[in-house]
Amino acid sequence: MNFELLALFLLLGSVVGVLAGLLGIGGGLVVVPALVFLLPRVGISTEILMHMALATSLATIILTSFSSALSHLKLGNVDMFAVKWLMPGVLIGGYFGATVADWIPHQYLPKVFSIIIMMLSWQMFRSIKILSHHPMPNAMITALCGGGIGIISSLVGVGGGSLSVPFLNRHGVEMRKAVGSSAVCGFGIAVSGMIGFVVSGYQVTDLPEYSWGYVYLPALVAIAVTSMMTTRIGAKLSTQLPTASLKRIFAVFLMFVAVTMLVQ
């Protein structure tokens, strides 16, 4: 760790905060590819690089999603009935996703990440609008859906909003409450996913200094501090810029990043 790298982590957090406020996206879509590029500078080997990036990303989401979830709860923007049914699944799925990531050979994990990100970015590019609504499935089906959301989100180091918001909205939850409920579920995914990566990481012997399992603490602190400071800047810009068009441009950028990681 040196001052140059610390400055890059702080800059990354600033970018993540602006994008989160501007486009309403989770930081993991940016944090994971950036950390894959930056973490080798502190001597992290390729065998654990992707695991460290995913775990650290989820740890940063804990802080940002907690703040967001608390705000939505205070505003009444959370469908507690939907959250109650989804939460068991996302908690188990988030932890299991981290375990699955530890099972996947390190050379294939970036490719799994890339394929999932391409699908998420394509959905973002299309800006799919729900034209029909269906009743919420029973508790078991909803929990299973939550498990799937948790596993996929943990595998790519995100809070799952790009999956849980369309799911909730399609099943009759108005968009405002779908976003708020997704923030609460995202906090659960981030906590359980990070715990899974921490537990798995304790079995590894060549972790860098200042690591907590697979979580790299200097990057976590730097990204979290600046992202929470710059979110308000992005929120202000969202009232002045064409966010729908910017979201599509960002989706194309994500596709480029995903393809680059896929062919490496």
Give the SS3 label for residue 255: helix
Going from the C-alpha of 161 to that of each of 158, 169, 189, the distances in angstroms are: 8, 12, 10
CA triple 124-130-135, angle to 5 deg: 130
What pLDDT sits at residue 77?
82
Listed by start position, the domains of the chain span 3-263
What pLDDT sits at residue 1?
62
What pLDDT sits at residue 43?
86
Element containing residue 39 per DSSP (H, E): none
Alpha-carbon torsion 19, 231, 56, 88, what sign? negative
What pLDDT sits at residue 127?
60
Query: From CA 153, how far away is CA 161, in angstroms rounded?
Result: 9
Is residue 113 within 8 Å of 34, Cβ to Cβ? no
Q: Which residue has tokens 């910017």? A: 246
Query: From CA 164, how far away is CA 150, in angstroms rounded?
Result: 9
Query: From CA 65, how far away is CA 57, in angstroms rounded?
Result: 12
Number of C-beta neighbours around residue 260 at 10 A: 12
Going from the C-alpha of 13 to that of each of 223, 229, 230, 232, the distances in angstroms are: 4, 9, 8, 13
Record the pTM: 0.87
What pLDDT sits at residue 25?
66
Q: Which residues pair with residue 215 across a beta bridge? A: 212
10-residue mean pLDDT series, the chain (264 residues): 86 84 70 91 90 94 79 83 91 94 88 86 68 77 93 88 82 81 88 94 86 93 87 72 73 81 74
What tokens appear for 1 in the block? 């760790």
Question: Residue 158 gets which letter from DSSP?
Answer: -
Maximum Cα interatomic distance, the chain, rounded to a whole number of Å:
53
